[in-house]
Every structure is written in C-alpha cells, then in structure tokens.
Amino acid sequence: MASGGTNMSQLSIEESNFLRFYYLNLKVASKAVRVYFDSVHPPSGLAGELGKTSVTLNGLRFITKLQLQTLYPSTGSNVRSEDFDTTLIVCLLRNMTPRECPPITGWDNIPQPGDTSTGADLARVKWYRNKLAHSEVGKLSPADFTQYWGDLEGAIGRLGGKTLLKEAQSAQHIVLDKSLTEMLNMVRVCEHNVAEHAEKISSLQVDIDDQKTIKLEHENKIQRLHDSLQQGKGEALNLATELSDQKGIIDKCQEEIEACSKEIKKMGHIMERIQAKALDRQNQIDKLTRHLVELDCKHDKKMKEFDDQMELQGEDMAKHDVQLTNHDGQLAKHDEQITIHGEQLAKLDGQFAEQGEKIAIYDDQLANHDEQIMEQGEQMAKHDTQIATCVKDIDIVKKKQHDAGVASDDTKALIEGDLKEDTFVMTKAVTDGLLLLKQNGVLLITGHAGTGKSRISRHILHMVCSENNTYKYLKLNTLEELENMIHREEHAMVLLDDIFGETNCIYNREKYVPILDKVHAYVCQGNIKVIITIRDTVKRQCQEVFENHRLFQFQFIDLSSNNYELANFEKERFSTNTCKQFGNQTI
C-alpha cells in the first residue's frame, strides 16, 4: 500500500477503478485462494499428495511443463504453495482429492450471485483474474467497479477469513501514487503477455502432441513394412524349399517317362506279332470264300432242278388259287368291319387324351393348393410364436406393475409413520428443496451421516404428492429398481435414498450411465421427478458422475454446510415436538 503525494490528475476515475480492482485481485484475492488451499492441503503433506496425483496432473493437456516443474521440483527442493499462481491453485483444487465441486455455471463462467459455495468463489477469482488479464482498455466504470468489488470481496472473506476480508475492505481506499500506478500497469502488462505466451505454448504443445502421434504412426508403418519384408523373406525361403522338393518330383517323373517308353516299344513288338497273325487269318478267309463260291454253283444247279419240279406243281396251285380268291373276298368284308372298329377306338383314344389333360390341370391345381396350405401352416406357426411372446411380455408387465404397487404401498406406509410421529420441523432446506425440485425436476441432497437427508427427502416427497395427486410416489434403493418400475408414460415422484451406497461407493459406469440417461429423458419430458440422497463421503468417491452427467448439473443442497445449519428457533421447535411425542422419556 502506498502513501504520500499522489499523482491522481493523470488517471481518470475508470482507470483508477481498474487499478484498485486489479490490486485487490493481485494482492488479496490470490492470497485468499492460497490460504484456502493450505487449509485443504497442509504444507507438511503437500509433496506426498502431489506425488499420489502425479498421473492425473501429468495427463492434463492445459497444464504447462513450467507448472509441472514447479509442482515437482528437483531433489532437495521443497514444494510450497507460495510458488503457485492463482490459476495453478484452482487447477489443483479441481483435480486433487477431495475435488472441489464446480458451480452450476461451470468453472469458466461467472457464477450466479446467490451461489456462495467454495467452487463458485474459486470460479469468481479465476474469472475476474482472466478478465483483468485480457482487458485492452484498462478501465472500469463506477457501476461495474461497485458490483465487481462487492462480489470479489465476499469471495475473499469466505475463502480467506476475517483478516483478509478487512484487508480487502482497506484496499478500496488505497492511495495510488505514480510509482504504484506504474508498477501495477507493468504487472498487468506482464500478466497479459504471460497469458498470451501460455496460450501460444498450449497451442504449440498440441502441435507437438500431434507430431508425436504422426511420428508414432510412421514408426508403426515402418514396423509393419519391416514385418512384411521379414515375412517375404520367409516365403521366399519356403518357395526355394518347395522348388527343391519339386526337382526331386521332376526327376522321378523323368524316370517314369523312360519306363513308359520302354513299355511302348515292348507293346510295338507285340502289335507286330498280332498283325502277322491277322494276315494269316485273312489268307484262311480267302480260302473259305473260294470254297463258298464252289458251293454256290452246286446250289444253283440243284435249284434249277427244283424249279422244274415246281412248274409241275404250279398247275395244282392254280386250282388252289381260285379257292383262295373266294376266301379273300370274305377276308375283305372282315377287314371293312375291322376298319370301322378302329375308327371307334381312335375316337375313344381322343376322349381319353382330353380327360388326361384335364387330370393333369387338376393335379397342378392340387399342387398349388398344397403349397398354399403349407404357407398358411408356416404363418400359423409364426403367429403362435408371436402370441407366446406377447403372453410372456404381458406377464413381465404385470410383474413390474405388481412390484411398483408393492413399492408404492411401502413408501406410503413409511410416510404415514413419519406423519404419525409428528416431530418434523420445516427448515430452510425443505423450502429450498421444494423450489429446486419444481424448477429442475431433480433434487440432490447430501451431507454428513445423521443430518436428516432421508427424513427431509420423505417430507418433500409427501408435500409434492399431496399438492398433485396425479403423481404416485416411490422410495427405491437402487437404480435397477427404477428402470424396472418406471415407464415414460407414467407420472411418478421417485426417492432414491443412498443412490450409490450408504458408506462405500457402489457405482458401475457401464451399467448405471444408460439408466441415468433414461431418467434424464423422463425428467425432461416432465412425467417424473426425482429426489436423490447421498452421503458427502460417498459423493466424493464417485465425483466424476456428479461433475459430468447432465442429470446432476443443477444446484444441490448440502446439509453439512453453514447455509443449512439449524437456527435456534428451529432447534427449540424440534425439541418441543419431540417432547410432546415421547412425553417424559429420556431423549
């Protein structure tokens, strides 16, 4: 803080506002973030915690090598939070266990004014620091100055405590002389340059990673080519071996050919002997032919003698021919009768042919009818299968409806028991929970064991269902029960108590993410509303799903926070109700 003579005539009100707010962010806000970091990660065990988180931090693309050298110095050096800038501290709080929960608006946007969570305060400091570092004009209007100062001053008080809050309030009246003005401007310019260089380094780091990937791909290609070459050498060696084997086969075939040639010569000699025998047979046939000619001559002579005898017998035969002529006339008449009978048989054959064609057509019709009957049989079999499947589906739906009805009756009995006890007291957590449930359709309640998560959630469930009796209410213990009992067309109010286990985290990403997606779709449609309770210790063990899944991207209620601590009149009212219920018994 500077004192003495001022040089305010050279600064406008907007420039003075900018430098004062810059001083607040640079000197006080960064100190508040460091104080909170040291409270979560004490300096004595910081090196050990960083060692356990080295794999996660080295895998972050937006962290620079210089920042990694600061986190993991050479042997003999001690790591200290004083060496960390605000950006690095926020990064560590986001990625080291226990991880800070992001605000509803995310880490890169200004949080909502009413969000006073630790994650929101860290996001405020980070956002204002980035805004100042990237400012080109270096001016801040009085209205923005008042709004920004009040917002950041509150975050400093919540993160750093009363001492830093007083320091922040005093910084608003700091006297800006020439030396302090020049120093702040120089620091702002340096931070602006550092931010630009950091962005360039990040861009270069991405290019380097891409080049490494390309190099690795080329090395893989070279390795595949080398493997292919080695495989080619092996195949060439196999071919040489096969060629050697084939040469032996060729030599064997050559020997077989020579053996066949000898066999052919042997068969030639045998054919010559057969031809000689055939010639001898031909000579014998010629001799037999001459003998047959001689026999034929003798036969002709005998036949002439026989013809003479036949002439004598001819006269006798003429008489016999007259008798035969008469008999032929009778045969002609008989032939006419046979012809008429043949025509009648031909007509019958035509009629039989037409009947045969009709029978063939009828056979084709019968074959087509048989095919149709077979197709209808197949369709009937498919229909029977579909009916069996539908019956099975109806049985499953009836079972789900029965299970949902049993769960609804159990939930109703549990809520009636709470109402009969009559010890519940309306608190700020109940009113805020009703508002968040109506706005978002989802309400997440967390806190330490014994803070009343289950009791408050059942009371909110009863109040909403009493206002709108179209909703049926269910209390379930696992996501599998929710998938089996809820349908998109139903109106239901569901309470998932200890969604991922009571003491240890029971979370299966591959199994639960599709169910959570389905629940989110039902909530967006407006047919169901969901109340979820989880202990803060279990929530930290499965922080990934609460940071990344869209079902949990809303404001939630933390019963362990100061915001929902019971007021004195609420405690008195609870004691009074309890005494009325239990009388003079020891409480």
447: domain CATH number?
3.40.50.300
Mean pLDDT (the chain) is 80
Q: Let me know if residue 249 belongs to a domain.
A: no
Does the pLDDT at position 143 exceed 90? yes
**pLDDT tens readout for residues 233-244:** 888 888 888 888
**pLDDT tens readout for residues 362-391:** 567 767 766 776 777 677 667 657 655 654
Boundary residue ending a domain (176, 209, 235): 176
Q: Two tokens at 530? A: 């969901």
Does the pLDDT at position 7 exceed 50? no
Does the pLDDT at position 107 exceed 80? yes
In this prediction, residues 257-262 reach a mean pLDDT of: 84
Q: Let me know if residue 19 belongs to a domain.
A: yes
Beta carbons within 8 Å of 148's beta carbon, 6+ residues apart: 21, 128, 140
Q: Let me know if residue 119 belongs to a domain.
A: yes
In this prediction, residues 281-299 reach a mean pLDDT of: 78
Does the pLDDT at position 40 exceed 70? yes
441: left (phi over 0), alpha (psi -120 to 50) or beta: left
Contact 542, 501 (CB under 8 A): no
pLDDT value of position 582? 63
In this prediction, residues 149-154 reach a mean pLDDT of: 95
CA distance 461 to 492: 10
In this prediction, residues 526-555 reach a mean pLDDT of: 87
In this prediction, residues 1-7 reach a mean pLDDT of: 36
Boundary residue ending a domain (157, 176, 195): 176
Contact 140, 18 (CB under 8 A): yes
**pLDDT tens readout for residues 419-470:** 777 778 889 889 998 999 888 989 999 988 888 888 899 989 888 888 877 7
Beta carbons within 8 Å of 464's beta carbon, 6+ residues apart: 434, 437, 471, 473, 493, 529
Angle at 259 between CA 258 and CA 264, to 5 degrees: 95
Q: Let me know if residue 140 belongs to a domain.
A: yes
CA distance 160 to 401: 55
CA distance 474 to 495: 6
Q: Which of 166, 129, 123, 128 is nearest to 147 (CA)?
A: 128
Boundary residue ending a domain (176, 200, 226): 176
Query: What pairs with residue 444 in β-bridges?
Result: 532
Q: Let me know if residue 186 belongs to a domain.
A: no
pLDDT value of position 109? 94
**Domain span at 568:** 422-582
**pLDDT tens readout for residues 465-495:** 888 777 777 888 787 777 666 665 567 888 8
pLDDT value of position 407? 58
Angle at 19 between CA 13 and CA 23, to 5 degrees: 145
In this prediction, residues 308-323 reach a mean pLDDT of: 73
pLDDT value of position 2? 36
Beta carbons within 8 Å of 101's beta carbon, 6+ residues apart: 117, 118, 119, 543, 546, 547
Contact 565, 530 (CB under 8 A): no
State the total domains in the chain. 2
* Range with top average pLDDT, 281-295, 408-422, 532-546: 532-546
User: To 10 degrees, what angle do helices 118-133 and 13-23 make?
Assistant: 130
**Per-residue buried b or exposed e for 547-586, using 16+ beta carbons within 10 Å of the residue's own CB:** eebebbbebbbbbeeeebebeeeeeebbeeeeeeeeeeee
**pLDDT tens readout for residues 326-348:** 767 776 786 787 678 678 767 86
DSSP-based three-state secondary structure for 504: coil
Q: Which residue has the higher pLDDT, 160 or 499?
A: 160
pLDDT value of position 104? 95
pLDDT value of position 391? 44
Query: What is the band of 528 on the pLDDT scale with cuts at 50, 70, 90?
Result: confident
**pLDDT tens readout for residues 213-227:** 777 777 788 888 888
Does the pLDDT at position 163 exceed 90? yes
Q: Let me know if residue 372 belongs to a domain.
A: no
Q: Let me know if residue 326 belongs to a domain.
A: no
The residue to which tokens 């260089």 are assigned:
197
- Number of Cβ within 10 Å of residue 76's Cβ equals 5
pLDDT value of position 421? 76
Query: What is the band of 587 on the pLDDT scale with cuts at 50, 70, 90?
Result: very low
DSSP-based three-state secondary structure for 414: helix
The residue to which tokens 């060692």 are assigned:
51
Q: Let me know if residue 80 belongs to a domain.
A: yes
pLDDT value of position 168? 93
